[in-house]
Structures are given as C-alpha cells and as structure tokens.
Amino acid sequence: MKFEQLDINTTLLNNAVACGYTDTTPIQDQVMPLLRAGSDVLACAPTGTGKTAAFLLPIMNELLGSTDIADTKALILAPTRELALQIGLEVEKYARDTAIRYALVIGGESIDDQLYLINRGVDLIVATPGRLHQLLDEQLIDLRALQFLVIDECDRMLDLGFITTIRKIVHKLPNKRQTALFSATLQEETELLARELLRKPIKVEVKAAPLDMALINQTVYYVDKQNKMNLLLHILKEEAVPSALIFVRTRADAEKVADALLKAGLDAAALHGDLEQVDRQHIFKDFMNNRIALLVATDVAARGIDIPTLTYVFNYELPNEPETYLHRIGRTGRANKTGFAISLCSNAELRFLKPIKALIGKKKFTTIEQHAFSYAPREKGTPRNSASFKGNIRNKTCDITQSEDLL
Ligand code: ADP
Ligand code: MG
C-alpha cells in the first residue's frame, strides 16, 4: 500500500516519506497492522525487505500516543553492535521533530555515557544482549514499564549463542508486553523460541522474491591473484565507482586490501573483527555517511549491514559458500535500484565460482576474460598467460600506477 495511506502520526509518516519510501513492502503490509492491533508476531522475510520499519513505525507511533513520558517502553534487541547502531540511525530518521528519545546500550562503549542518557529518560532502547543484561543484572536500568520487545535478526542471535542471555533478559521484563521476533530465515529453534517468549504469536512469512536478482548486474573478471589490486583500481576508476563494499575472506586480507587502496590515494577502510569496537563503529558510521568511499570487509563484520545507497559490491575474493555470495551481493540492487556485483576470480577460485553459478544461474553472469590484467582460465598443464596486456581499449585509459607490491 501507499505510505500516505498508513494511519500513523503525521510527523512519523512524513519522516518515512522523506526517506524516499512510497509504498510499503510486503512484510510491512503484513506486520504493521498486526503490531498495531497488539498481537505478538513472528516475522520472517529476507534481508533488505524493510523489517526495521515494519516494527519501528508501529512502535514509535504508540510511543507518540503515550502520555506517560518518563519510562522506557520499548526495547529492540539486535545481535551485533553494528546492527544496533544501524537500527539507532533508523530510529533517529523516523523520530525527527518528535519527542521520542532513544538510547543505545551496546558493548565496547562507556557504560556511564549510556546510563547518563537513560537516566534522563528514554522511550526506546536499542541494545545488544550482553551489555543490556549486564545493566539489568546490576539494576542500573529499569524496564518495569516496558510494553514492547523486539528481537531482531533472531537467526543470528541463535547462531551467536545469545539464547541464554535473551532468556535471562526476558525474565526481567514485565509479562504483560507485546513481543515480536524478526528473522531472515526460519530455523526450528526460532519457532521454538517464539513459542517460549511470545503470547499466541501470529506467524508471518515473506519468501525471497527471485526477481530481485534481475536488478543486480553480476560480472566476473578472471584475473591472477597478484593482479587483483591493479584490476580493482582499474575498475574503480573506469566505472567511476562512488562507493563500494569490498569483500575479502580474512581479517589480514581486509587490512592488506584497504592499505593498498589507501596507498593508491583512495578513500578506504577495513572493517573486521580484530578492530577495537570504537574503531569499528567510527568506520561503519563514516561509510554510512559517505565519509569513507570504500569499505573492505570480512563477511562476519559486514553481515546484516545495510547501506541503502550502495550500488557496488566487489568480491575481491570469492567466498567458498555460494550462500555467502548471495548474502554479499544482496546488499545492492535494493529498492528497485540497479546494483553491480563484481567478482574477481583467480584460477584457484574457479572451484568456488562453479557452485555460485549453479545456485544463481549461469545466464545471470557476464564473464570478462579479456581486460587489462587478463589471464585465461586454464586446465592444469596448459601454458600460463598471466598478467598479459591484451591490447584492450581499456588499457589506453588506464593510467593507474602498476605496482607489484600492492598485493
Ligand atoms: P531488513 O531488516 O529486512 O534486512 P531494512 O529494514 O534494513 O531491511 O531495510 C532495508 C532498506 O530498505 C533500508 O535502507 C530501508 O531504509 C529501506 N526501506 C524500508 N522500507 C522501505 C519502503 N517501504 N520503501 C523503500 N525502502 C524501504
Ligand atoms: Mg534487519
């Protein structure tokens, strides 16, 4: 339906429309009326389908209707600090020009700062389970007036082993509350958890739309490992890529690739699990706000991160699981905008490419063998043809410094 038709607070509605939303997504269509009617909901829909707004808008609408201003009435639990931060940014957008106040309760940051905010009074808290549990346990935070609980990215919560912590948190919350559980996939454990924590839950499921893939231009370049950086620099320049998420396999690779990009004079940063939390958050925020153009990330660090303006995803290294490939490229081609997924495939990675192509369909890929840094994928024993310049016209416009030590 049209956003304008949603019967919610006008400021809230205008803020959502100001985000560029015109129509609600299918999961929003289904979840919003249920939450507004007071039902507990178990909602499952693929990543990038607008689940955050599906719970935030109805809850924030209730918060705006509430007269009792001092207490925290809504709690959103997210599995990682990055996701909590991202939800926080979305709360900020929708809360513009309203009296809604929120706080983040996440690990790796000053407890005192978080408590200071909370003690001044917040309507909504976005939290990761560990830190929230700590504050509840030490009775530093009072959630006795809580009315809404959302557990977001439930599948990841389970994967990361947060189930016990979540149980402990929920035991400290009022029984009389509305609870919603959101997930990108439905595992058996998710349903069990829903049965345990939710009251007469209504299950809503939206399946992945296969059409989405049509919006993503998928290109594979065959290239020798040692030429990947040169090729990446070449593509970035050639296609005037404004901003990109670049996936690598390991933390060390993330550092190396980001360093090489920096050396080439580009605006890049690495995001991976070895970084201090404060640094991760800065980097993440800078990328979200377009202050960093190129983010080089490992799968774990980037999981669940959604950047609405992202048009380019690079697989600097191919993942070994085809599902991971889908996850990676699913971050672009959102909301009817075309996205580009560019994979740099070395000879050794051909074995990863095969299952990826099998999963997605060979026809969806454009394969580029002839380019400034081509090699021909070869059978064992055939002569090597690496790093040859094939006289492609692209060469002529490529004035990027070639460097052996880039990677
Ligand atoms: P999910 O949690 O399902 O992975 P998000 O809530 O993070 O997805 O939303 C993905 C992107 O879609 C965000 O950038 C969000 O701002 C945007 N979005 C949400 N609802 C709509 C809508 N109705 N129309 C267009 N874009 C939307
Ligand atoms: Mg989400």
Q: Of the CATH numbers 3.20.20.70, 3.40.50.300, 3.30.530.20, 3.40.50.620, which one belongs to the domain with range 213-368? A: 3.40.50.300
Establish whether domains 3-205 and 213-368 are of one fold: yes
Which pLDDT score is estimated for 225?
93
Q: Where do the structural domains in the chain lie, given as residue ranges?
A: 3-205, 213-368
Q: Which of 57, 23, 377 is nearest to 223 (CA)?
A: 377
**C-alpha distances in Å from residue 177, one per residue of 197, 199, 367:** 11, 9, 53
**Second-level CATH architecture of 3-205:** 3-Layer(aba) Sandwich (3.40)
pTM of the model: 0.65
Ligand 1 and 88: CB distance under 6 A:
no
Q: What distance in angstroms lies between residue 19's CA and the mean position of ligand 1's atoms?
A: 10
**pLDDT tens digits, one per residue of 272-293:** 877 777 777 788 888 888 889 9
Residue 376 has what pLDDT?
58
Closest ligand to C-alpha of residue 288 is 1
pLDDT at 384 > cutoff 60: no
Give residue 395 CA to ligand 1 midpoint distance, Å: 39
What is the rounded average pLDDT of the residues 143-164?
A: 93
pLDDT bracket for residue 14 (50, 70, 90): very high
How many Å apart are CA 293 and CA 309, to the nearest integer? 11
- Tens digits of per-residue pLDDT, 76-94? 999 988 899 999 999 999 9
CA separation for the pair 62, 79 (Å, rounded)? 24
Pairing state between β 124-127 and 244-247 = unpaired
**Burial class, 160, CB count within 10 angstroms (exposed 0-12 / middle 13-18 / buried 19+):** middle
Two tokens, residue 82: 């990055």
Buried b (16+ CB within 10 A) or exposed e, 32-65: bebbbeebbbbbbbbbbbbbbbbbbbbbbbbbbe
pLDDT level of residue 140 (50, 70, 90 thresholds)? very high
Tens digits of residue pLDDT in 167-189: 999 999 999 999 999 998 888 89
Instruction: Please name the residue whose Cα sits nearest to atom 1 of ligand 1.
Output: 48
Residue of 4, 12, 19, 80 to test ligand 1 pocket, by largest number of atoms within 8 Å of CB: 19
330 in ligand 1 pocket by Cβ < 6 Å? no
Q: How far is the CA of 335 from the centre of ligand 1 (A)?
A: 8
Q: How far apart are CA 370 and CA 391, in angstroms?
A: 9
